[in-house]
Amino acid sequence: MKLIIVKNQAEAGKKAFEIFKEELNNGAKVFGLATGSSPISLYNELTNSDLDFSDCTSINLDEYVGLKPTNSQSYHYFMNQHLFSKKPFKKSYVPDGETKDVAQEIAHYNKIIKENPIDLQLLGIGRNGHIAFNEPGTSFDSVTHEVKLSQSTIEANSRFFDNIDEVPKSAICMGIASIMSAKKILLCAFGENKQDALKGMIEGPITEDVPASVLQKHPDVTVICDEIAAKKLK
Ligand code: GLP
């Protein structure tokens, strides 16, 4: 794993942008994208740049079950607002959280990932070491699946909703094996509440109890974090 420690999120956005630019210039066609606050500085850099993704495909990690794309807390909405409306891709996939048939949507999403091997996968990390919505205990062999969100994730994400009861209880999420199949992975993490997750991911044992620890097995992972998040690392 390559670790880049920066002063703040704005600087991280510039570093992450350089990696996206290099991959694009080297012919990458499929970008795995993430939601959450961690990728926002990168998305700002991308939208303010002249990089052209109109010949590329994007595949997002996850979506809440039960939210319409027009719901401001859905990941469809987030991606449109922060990236796609300003920097369109040829085709952008986000799981359909509104589907009446979750199993069918999961099969469909797995097919999309198989047909469009991911060149560069962007990730954030949850406080408990989750990646996408792959909570502790998720099998490293998992592909796209429906996830019951843990109480800590529901609580962490409740800041975006009027009250905690409105936070969806499950999500459709790319699995850990699908994430690991990406050629290159870029993970961004900022702030004090990511210290333990980063330590577990980088220095802890490889265990399904800390989903991100699986990244130690991937040949090409870059982590960009700020000084506060890196504080507990040896
Ligand atoms: C959610 C998302 C994850 C994200 C995590 C951390 O659980 N499903 O993909 O990495 O939040 O979010 P943030 O970047 O806002 O800290």
User: pLDDT per residue over 128-162, tens digit each?
Assistant: 999 999 999 999 999 999 999 888 889 988 888 89
Compute, in angstroms, the gap from residue 60 CA to the centroid of ligand 1.
12
| Residue minimizing CA distance to atom 12 of ligand 1 | 36
- Give me the mean pLDDT over the 205-218 stretch: 98
Q: How far apart are CA 126 and CA 196, in angstroms?
A: 10
Mean pLDDT confidence for 183-212: 98
The verdict on whether 108 is a catalytic residue reads no
Lowest mean pLDDT among 83-87, 121-125, 165-169: 165-169
What residues does ligand 1 touch, defined as CB less than 6 Å away?
34-38, 61-62, 124-126, 132-133, 153
Average pLDDT of the chain is 96
Q: How far, in Å, CA of 217 to CA of 199, rounded? A: 16
Task: Give buried/exposed letters for 56-79 (b at 16+ CB in 10 A, else e).
Answer: bbbbbbbbbbebeeebeebbbbbb
Specify the pTM: 0.95
Q: What is the pLDDT of residue 152?
A: 84
The percentage of the chain sitting over the pLDDT mark of 70, rounded to a whole number, equals: 100
The answer to whether residue 18 is catalytic is: no
> Is residue 193 annotated as part of the catalytic site, yes or no?
no
Task: Write down the pLDDT at residue 150.
Answer: 83
Q: Single out the catalytic residue among 128, 134, 157, 226.
A: 128
List the one residue out of 183, 204, 231, 223 whose CA is nearest residue 23.
183
